[in-house]
Structure 1
Amino acid sequence: MPPRQTPFFIVFLCFLNACSSVFATQFDFGTLTMSTLKLLGDAHLNNNTVSLTGDPAVPNSAAGRALYSDPVRFRQPGSLSPASFSTFFSFSVTNLNPSSVGGGLAFVISPDSSAVGDSGGFLGLQNPAAATGGGGGFVAVEFDTLMDVEFSDINGNHVGLDLNSVVSAQVSDLGSVGVDLKSGDSVNAWIEYDGSSKGLRVWVSYSTVRPKDPILKVDLDVGMYVNDFMYVGFSGSTQGSTEVHSVEWWSFNSSFDSAAAPATTSAPSATSPPEQKESKSSRKGTVGAVAGVVTAGAFVLALFAGAFIWVYSKKVKRMKKFDQSIESEIIRLPKEFSYKELKFATKGFSANRVIGHGAFGTVYKGVLPESGDTVAVKRCNHSGQGKSEFLSELSIIGSLRHRNLVHLQGWCHEKGEILLVYDLMPNGSLDKALYEARMPLSWPHRLKILLGVSSVLAYLHHECENQVIHRDIKTSNIMLDEGFNARLGDFGLARQTQHDKSPDATVAAGTMGYLAPEYVLTGRATEKTDVFSYGAVVLEVACGRRPIEKDAAANGKVGVSSNLVEWVWSLHQEGKLLTAADPRLEGEFEEGEMRRVLLVGLACSHPDSMARPTMRGAVQMLLGEAEVPIVPRAKPSTSYSTSHLLLSLQDSESDCNNAMITISTSSSENTLSGRLIL
């Protein structure tokens, strides 16, 4: 190349690079603001997490979208050549009532930034009219928790590629990679599209390390399905469910391959600027424009580099701060395990080793290579919330000592992973012992378990230096050792407070059927909200029925949706309390003990928190050392007033002075109604 042409060639290359950078888009949750994130329908922001379908305490049908507010260029001007893009996001699907029907969520590329599709199986992507030919183009990767025959779903746990239709063009079972969308754990997803080779790939995993093989691999010309400019984001829906779809982290990057020239045979795009022929008189202006673009590009590049360095330094500081906080909390713990030995112990965290799912992590069976001991390894979620819950569980259970607590052996924090190691409970959870065991759990074992749980709760509430409120007492969090002794675990939601200190209001967390009514309304967890949860467990153990069941029937007293407390109270009103006993026991129990246990369960489940006993009192009642308080035959309604009630709705707070809340319950209906009088 002649020397005189070399400078212009370099400038020309810089011009092409600057032009391609103009069409590139890059962002993540760390750079998004309320002005660059558009929330539609039922979507809202909650503690730096996007909830697509709200946080319903009762079954609801909802749909919502969260989009990047600026359009992203997906085709080069005057051509159908598609952009290359990649995105990574972490999400979770939680459900207060796992028996309720799901929905799902999807990463979506949409031409519209203002419309939301229908709820249910439509995932907020489409409405019935569009599904039958009414239009509405989009490209989406769906994560579906609802098996809908109408849309040819293979199951209620799959990933699919949707092209202008909620009937997936290609689908894969997430169970094949050991991922359960409804587990409540954080799920990580990677989606990449190569505009040159026209290939789309999707990876899904619990780990932050991308798997070697994609779960979806599709040859696809995205240029045939998108406009020049599209919007990117997420869409989700529920169908008569309490399912919550949360996006906890999101990063996106798109660009064009500079080697891919626009197709000259394509018609000009309606959104592209009109082409103009360059005259000789305008060449000097063009060269000046090139120089301006290069200068501007260099300036933008410098700004971007500065911003990147700043964001990276902030991230490093946060990680160092988190590591330091971990070190300060775990210094008292017995042992630090290496990631390598725990990975070996669980056979690479194999799906075949999964023995349960906690509030913020998956539990694996492991065999330690050095000692040969069998342990339970809890792999905590990778979201920011999962890390904070890990610290909560670590700091609380690491300082507690009681025979009815699951024993913590040690911890590991390597490779971005957070792991806790516990003694393995050979008889699994109380939930599985009640509903999945081949032989029914005997009455002596049930009574011993209830006494063990009441004993450890009395310890947490009254005997610790700081009072511990567990907030998630349920049968799946109660483990059984070789002697069927109860061991309470999963302290991810637990909170420590000083004795006699008024609790702070938070968002109610836990499992539907175990939540006290005042906790759902105010978000204030107290020892009495734990007592209510324990009451639900007592009735569940005595009756062999879940707190909320669907399509259940017993003596014609239970409708389509059955609430256990309502049902037992209705039998008590009719003078038939003992008929609530688990029929699988075949009458092999002492009637006086059964009656006492059922009455203790009802006393703990009293709708008025002030009428509930303490856990110390519950222990004495179960042992026969104290009389059970008189339980009214009809379930009472209760009213209580507060001078300052904190109401939370989509992260907005308002103060209500001299408010009266009336909670009324009906023994014939599974409802909870509230009346606010100002």
Structure 2
Amino acid sequence: MMSLSGGFSFGSVFVASFVLFSFFSGNALRATEFDFGSLTLSSLKLLGDAHLSNGSVRLTRDLGVPNSGSGKVLYSKPVKFRRAGVQSPASFSTSFSFSVTNLNPSSIGGGLAFVISPDDEFVGDAGGFLGIMDAKGAPKGVVAVEFDTLMDVEFKDINGNHVGLDLNSMVSAEVGDLETVSVDLKSGNLVNSWVDYSGPGRAIKVYVSYSNLKPEEPIISATFDLDDYIMNDVMFVGFSGSTQGSTEIHTIHWWNFSSSFDENPSHNPVSPSGSPPAGGILMNPTADTAYLAPPSLAPEADNRSSTSHGKESSGNCHNQLCRKGAGTVVGVVIASAFFVALCALAFIWAYHKKSKNDKNSETLAYDVIKMPKEFSYKELKFATKGFDSNRIIGNGAFGTVYKGNLPATGDTVAVKRCSHSGQGKAEFLSELSIIGSLRHRNLVRLQGWCHEKGEILLVYDLMSNGSLDKALFESRTVLPWPHRRKILLGVASALAYLHQECENQVIHRDIKTSNIMLDEGFNARLGDFGLARQIEHDKSPDATVAAGTMGYLAPEYLLTGRATDKTDVFSYGAVVLEVASGRRPIEKEFSGVGVSTNLVEWVWSLHREERLMMAADPRLRNEFDEGEMRKVLLVGLACSNPDPMARPTMRGVVQMLVGESEIPIVPRAKPTMNFSTSQLLMTLQDSVSDLNGMITISTTSSESSLYAAAGGGPDFV
């Protein structure tokens, strides 16, 4: 029997070996047993970013630039874990070889997991969710053994090199430190793991080693009833993985699995050929039995990382059935691509004909095609009760936000109704094109869009606790300090993703507390990307008219009109000081009637006078750790440094907040910026149109005072 690249066989003789049936006491007892050597392409289901490469399965994309994505590979047939008349769930045993390699050794983050899932279509979120679940904890009924390469404070990770047992939650029920067995997930070496579960004993053991021999001691040994966590009698098994703003590549090289309702399920079935190749990695749970090293799966059409040996082996397929199957796949792909292209062209033509006077119509059509869902105007009008004013939950610079209830699903959502001006349409296009491609647990998730009857609408997840500014200044209860710290860390994580972890850098340009939403767990979700801009990494941004909200704007942004990641860092610094002090960035009558005080200036003055802790919100009644408060205030000042080059990166801020790095020394006296008066006036004239006297320029100092003289901190463009 011939096989494709010596790997996945297409002969029907092995298909019968996938699911083995036995009969005991007159009852049908179903067991499942397979390995990489006997799987066919049709026996695997690749989801998300998962793909075949050089005879193995890669769960994440092969990109040289940092990105956040997730992928999953599943055995396509469901596995029976419960059956009538049996008190205990099925026992199972699986072993696998994997590696975590990195195109950029300094870019880490993400991981992979062996998963038991009720669903064979769902792919979870990227980052710390490892493609297992999404931010809402869906789907339910998931059991996973994770191999995590980055410490995530939200999930109470012990470090960035651990194994965890996840039971319906990304917070691991049991954790094993891989340092104790001298295994480094990020080393790029092949790592072997064994997972054994006893149904009658309700016990799981996880082993990890570089060696092909199963260790004597497990790294995780725990007791739990699988029946309490799985939702269905049959479940799907496989692997998921994700990147977290990194260039990590997660590869499954070998896998075998067996399950039964016996006390001891068959462990690691012998590979079909039965003899190991020279120099191969042997997956041996015991020392006296050998199995084949990971075989090749299938050659890829465009394999950028293949070696000459890989190219040679990929040309050895003489099986007509292989060729026919491959040709069919190629034909289907080409036909599908052609059909999608026709649909796209038809959509663009129709929209252009309808809106031929709108210069952005083609851009809108292109971006809309990428969106997850198109809602009808009728559906959203019904959801908001005709855009009833009583359902207004917020107002932005270019639109109004309504609370809506979708009749089809019963979900409660936020519907943003963009203004009808040209600028409103520009904001719609910007927000749609940018946030539609972003996935991070600390970003507001876009559910879909609508463009009908001259209306442009965006549909988001509704954040049950509203915006951060309302929680700080309008709530009847004081926002506790632990909540504030978690919110600041979440926003920092989102900005690190936007600045350093996306394929194209995203500059938000409007970081402020009213654009930070809070979900039911008071987790921060950054939203409102109407002013955001995308630029290629290491490219200089174009100068524009300064846009944003007074009190949050970096001085150099007002001077040059160039928004960069450093201008976002300044805005984040203002947010940090606002959250820690409980004071708005620009406050009227704070230091006297008719006088407005800038928060950043005020905290700098307290720091100069060695009275920094006086900035702490008095409403907290000292119910906070003084060391944490001081750290947060210093982070806020470091981000608010007038010199943009002295500000930290947002990834650096995250490391400071979690204690992985020290806070840079913040000078007592606020640094100054050196601009000549003529240069200052010329730049302001080019960059900032009529601000109605809101900007005051001091020509008696080398530093310009660029803050509102009249309070309120309005938006402007």
Give the TM-score, by structure 1 length: 0.49
Question: Which one has a larger percent strand, Structure 1 or Structure 2?
Answer: 1
Give the TM-score, by structure 2 length: 0.46
